[in-house]
Amino acid sequence: MHKTLSHIRNSSWCKRCWLKRQTVRGKSSQPRTNSVNIQMLSDTLHRQVFNSESKSQVDTENLEIIQAHLEKHGLSDKVMPHIPDIDLKLPKLLGETIQDHFYAIAKDQIKNYVTLIDDIVQSPLPSLPTKWHFQKGWTKYNEDGSFSSVAFPEEKGLVFDVEVLLCEGHYPTMATAVSSKHWYSWVSDYVIEDKFRWTNEPHLQDLIPLETSHGRCTPPSGKWQPRLIIGHNVGFDRSFVKEQYFTQGTQLRFLDTMSMHIAICGQTSFQRLLYKASRKGSLRKEVIEHANKQRLFNRASSEDWKRVSSMNNLNDVYQLHCGGEPLEKAKRDVFVEGTMADVRGQFQELMAYCANDVKATHEVFTKLWSEFQKRY
């Protein structure tokens, strides 16, 4: 522990020394300012950041507008102290602009994960298993109907969903995943064996392994590989993944279809309120006030946004983007109100329910990915 802290301190000291060597005070005693005396980047930094000479001329009309705005807020007569210019030698930009630079860095960082995404999006899903194997841990299903036990899914890109029996605490009960080649199921040993739980909080061995074998904390190859998990509200599923609690982070990353939906056609808090009210009559004060204002000003409230957005749950998102029938959600009540005996008694139906959510998530992601790339 002492050695680790010492290494961190030495590393930080080295970075500070490097920065100090790269940073020098500007030689000019006159800082660069704009037309309203606000200090700007030094000429040296400006040339590096914008790849051009500084141009600070503002036409008279715009300058008057700026000055009036500053006066309105009591800022025109404030005297701001000038700080010494800093001339810092920056790395060469990876592109024409600073925006291009950071886009290039981001592309380089995610290129392995984009390859995994393309494999998932472009490949048709394998057929759903007709029967799910009642065995603890991970099971891999082949297209010919055969299956085998595995330590964790072999492919690096997966669509994933976890189900939790509420009465059992914060333990994962079952999960399904699909890659471009195989379906997988994971079953808690508490489903298979009627065991007593001593606590509501799980240990590592109770969680779902996605990169390591049972009882191990390193991958079989000894090196973490880039992996990708896609899910809807995937932060929930992530909380039940064993490796996410390792002190040393892995290269597993998570992509959330709910967040993608919100970014493309999500709703504000007030829109969600109106959306829910339009489905069932609402007497909430905010909804009534909104309707009264529309009538008072004799204007029709546009309903267009309701046709191109939805609530964030998987069922609504699936119907909006894929145009499919509502997902079967009756089995969800077993996880909310049922017991482990109910799970064992309805094992096949509950596994199929979980797998259908994975299938729907894959369809949603396939629809959203191209639109997300266009916008962002």
Instruction: For residue range 265-309, list pLDDT tens digits in order.
Output: 988 888 877 777 766 554 455 544 545 555 544 454 556 777 888
Helices 257-265 and 314-322 cross at an angle (nearest 10°) of 60
Nearest to 365 by CA among 260, 234, 227: 260
Give residue-wise pLDDT tens across range 278-288. 665 544 555 44
Q: What pLDDT, on the 0 to 100 scale, is given for residue 2?
A: 46
- The DSSP code sequence of 310-330 is --SSHHHHHHHHH-PPPP--T
- Mean pLDDT across 93-107: 92
CA 55 to chain centre: 40
Which of the following is catalytic: 43, 119, 144, 161?
161
| 3-state class (DSSP) for residue 81 | coil
Find where tokens 């909006």 sit.
320
Cβ atoms of 193 and 186 closer than 8 Å: no
- The DSSP code sequence of 97-128 is SHHHHHHHHHHHHHHHHHHHHHHHHHSPPPPP
Q: Any idea where the domains of the chain sit in the sequence?
A: 2-90, 111-266+310-375, 269-304
Residue 53 has pLDDT above 80, yes or no: no
Report the chain's mean pLDDT, rounded to a whole number: 86
119 is catalytic: no
Q: What architecture does CATH give domain 111-266+310-375?
A: 2-Layer Sandwich (3.30)
Phi-psi region of 37 (alpha: psi -120 to 50; beta: other; left: phi over 0): left
